[in-house]
């Protein structure tokens, strides 16, 4: 799955509006030193706590917990599909971007 597709999926899964979600997720990734265009699965995992904290400003606690479980499961599926925990995410043109792995 491409970096862009993962970003779109996670932003949708947050349950935040289309106005808030992209910036919220982007800033969480930037907090851990990454960007949506270059984020490894390890970076996504690192950003989860920051995504959750930002979601809590807008959504009830129980909903945040449910949505975070879904996001975590989605990222785990991506990891499993790549065959290992630090797998490379496909770039926009489908090429393997191993340089993204930390």
Give, in order, the Cα–Cα distances in Å from 93 to each of 4, 43, 99.
Answer: 11, 21, 15
Give CA angle at 9 (75, 55), nearest 5°.
85
Q: With beta carbons less than 8 A apart as the criterion, state whether 59 and 13 touch.
A: no
Q: Token pair of 31, please?
A: 């907090």
**So what's the pLDDT on residue 17?**
97
For the chain, what are the domain ranges?
A: 3-100
Q: Where do runs of H (alpha helix) occur along 14-93?
A: 21-31, 41-56, 61-82
DSSP secondary-structure letter at 90? B
**Global confidence as pTM:** 0.79
pLDDT digits (tens), the chain, 102 positions: 888 899 999 999 999 999 999 999 999 999 999 999 989 989 999 999 999 999 999 999 999 999 999 999 999 998 876 554 444 454 444 444 443 333
Q: Token pair of 59, please?
A: 């959504």
Distance CA 39, CA 44 (A): 7
**So what's the pLDDT on residue 2?**
83
């Amino acid at each position: 799955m491409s970096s862009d597709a993962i970003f779109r999926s996670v932003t949708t899964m947050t349950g935040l509006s289309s106005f808030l979600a992209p910036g919220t997720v982007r800033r969480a990734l930037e907090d851990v030193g990454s960007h949506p265009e270059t984020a490894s699965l390890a970076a996504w995992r690192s950003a989860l706590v920051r995504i959750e904290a930002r979601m809590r400003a807008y959504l009830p606690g129980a909903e945040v917990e449910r949505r975070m479980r879904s996001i975590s499961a989605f990222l785990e599926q991506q990891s499993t599909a790549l065959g290992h925990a630090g797998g490379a995410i496909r770039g926009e043109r489908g090429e393997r971007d191993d340089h993204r792995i930390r």
